[in-house]
Structure 1
């Protein structure tokens, strides 16, 4: 590819979730990641089109690809079909991939798949446009099955951490690592000066309130450490919230609700320490990067990709599920210099670095496929 061609703006389709809109307040880290990536690419002069659930919207996307739905017949609605959302999700991705295999493909130079569904990978060879899939999870059964089918040279993978890349190595072979980046200006340095009620320093926990994120363990650890804990995020599992979270609220533990990004950044930036308590091997740990950007040190379980973000200058890690060890680490982490946390984020968590890496991968795929980027109209 010539220097001039490499400098041309790209027409990029970002595939997100068909279940959750790419819009604030975010349903989870994946939706936040795709939303911010759309902004960052647009700011570089590229034209971005989004595929996401109804309600997907940013102030930068050129267009949104509709999610197709259908009405199942009474004969299809059986007790053996499983949850209805699984069927609707299958239909949504089947529809969009068939569209991308047809005339819609001419609207794009590259497709960047962030979905957790197997169909975009399985059907990628039908699409006449290079496609990059970012692997945000371990090799789950259906994803691994799709990846095990030989792909054409116009498709490729990236992993969000070295840990995730190693998990996928037996299936996908060596793949590049592009750590999730965050817009540092949207997560400004905070002072950690105390809570709104003037009760002193507080710890913060953010994320989806689901069993695999372990907020119940964070509550227990914060209480043992003597810290007020403020929690924010969507209560995505009603049963878990009702049985494991709600009974623990009060007595120094407050649930702030599902916040918009700026409100969330203010909450995290005001905390003395952020707690991260995954009950699974977190592929990356976006909440760690967000806390560090705000200058808020982190106390976390040592799992998955978190050790690639956190080090002793900006946090403390303890063995998974060890509540006593986490309680002991909270105060140690809170005493770390906030400037070190921010410096760590600037060094390894910037979205600018992430976008540079993705643009390099897009253009490598274009070169491999023999295509050249068209200049957007």
Structure 2
């Protein structure tokens, strides 16, 4: 197949540190190319990819001029080349000029979908030419009343994450993610304090949440509760693999949460609040536990030794491996191409 993939312009593909969507795009591209498919990528100029890169000149999705420049680039290339399918992880607006034409178009949502835009796009699009995916059923089910939509999980490259069968007796709890209230960093601290467990906090601090860090996190840092900053893939592998459990005390509806799958790839269980996609990802008693309150999360820490880390890794291999996710997308591409003939 000849595949065009569209990313948002803010971060390179793959990202050096934070950037879950860009990491997924990179995983798909490298997998497609290994299978013999031809891939073109529209992305940040610093992207390091095996695909043919068409670099954006506009680097902000919120700047109207940048959006116009990027839309022009994308559609100029799409018109000049005979692609079998175009798959966008970026703005739906980028596909606007292509909606009336026959080219199969797949729009993937890794965040809450813009239902108003979706309904307008379906009205403008050629029949059977536009479909959608969500990174979980939580996302795709919001789209399905208005358009053809499929749930396809995000995946991880299992070669990056080492399975760790045995951990130290004093293995820490780990929180890994953006340091902001909805991610629940402050709740992870409460859980660690109540269970007398070490806690390692990793992740970037968005500028707008620096005060949150200063007021809700920093005062509680100690010899047993530490903050190590952002981590790269190698550091993340070591951190998650050495953990007793990965805590995800989210206070929002997480669309997927790729770090849950990354923890499971190491054999590390996930303990998460039961919101967003968590009920689909966490299988209680198999790869972790889900719960609804801080008190419940505290109580579940004592049940972690009951979990089998081999089973956790196996579940990740069967549901979240890059091979599985790549095949799901390729099967969907072919289905869309066949339906659009």
Q: Deviations over 1:303-355 (max 9, x none)?
A: 11111111121211111xx2222111123124411111111111211221211
1:68 paired with 2:89, answer no
Is this contact kept in 2: 1:94–1:119, CA < 8 A? no
1:130 paired with 2:104, answer yes
Is this contact kept in 2: 1:122–1:146, CA < 8 A? no
State how far apart, in whole Å, the 1-side matches of 2:294 and 2:250 are.
12
Is this contact kept in 2: 1:192–1:272, CA < 8 A? no
Matches within 5 A, 1:51-66: 51-58=42-49, 61-66=50-55
Is this contact kept in 2: 1:189–1:294, CA < 8 A? yes
Deviation at 1:122, TM superposition (A): 4.0
Deviation at 1:21, TM superposition (A): 2.0
2:131 is matched with: 156
State how far apart, in whole Å, the 1-side matches of 2:304 and 2:259 are.
16
2:294 is matched with: 323
State how far apart, in whole Å, the 1-side matches of 2:111 and 2:77 are.
31
Is this contact kept in 2: 1:298–1:333, CA < 8 A? no
- Aligned residues, how many? 336
State how far apart, in whole Å, the 2-side matches of 1:217 and 1:200 are.
21
Is this contact kept in 1: 2:74–2:94, CA < 8 A? no
Matches within 5 A, 1:96-107: 96-107=70-81
Deviation at 1:251, TM superposition (A): 4.1
More divergent stretch after superposition (345-354 vs 325-334) = 325-334
1:13 is matched with: 4
Question: Can you give the 5+ residue segments of structure 1 that lack an aligned partner in the other structure?
Answer: 1-9, 71-84, 371-377
Question: Of 339, 342, 350, which residue of structure 1 is paired with 2:321?
Answer: 350
1:287 is matched with: 259
Deviation at 1:121, TM superposition (A): 4.8
1:218 is matched with: 188
Give the TM-score taking structure 1 as reference length: 0.81
Is this contact kept in 2: 1:313–1:341, CA < 8 A? yes
Is this contact kept in 1: 2:12–2:47, CA < 8 A? yes
State how far apart, in whole Å, the 2-side matches of 1:244 and 1:362 are.
46
- Tell me which of the two structures has the higher relative contact order, counting C-alpha pairs closer than 8 angstroms and 6 or more residues apart: 1
Q: Deviations over 1:29-78 (max 9, x none)?
A: 212211222222222222223222342223xx2322221239xxxxxxxx
Question: Of 48, 73, 91, which residue of structure 1 is paired with 2:65?
Answer: 91
SS of residue matched to 2:214: helix
State how far apart, in whole Å, the 2-side matches of 1:337 and 1:87 are.
45
Is this contact kept in 1: 2:2–2:85, CA < 8 A? yes
1:363 paired with 2:298, answer no
Give the TM-score taking structure 2 as reference length: 0.89
Cα RMSD (Å): 2.4
Q: Deviations over 1:177-204 (max 9, x none)?
A: 211121222222124523xxxx821111
State how far apart, in whole Å, the 2-side matches of 1:16 and 1:338 are.
35
Question: Can you give the 5+ residue segments of structure 2 that lack an aligned partner in the other structure?
Answer: none
SS of residue matched to 1:205: strand
2:88 is matched with: 113
SS of residue matched to 2:46: coil
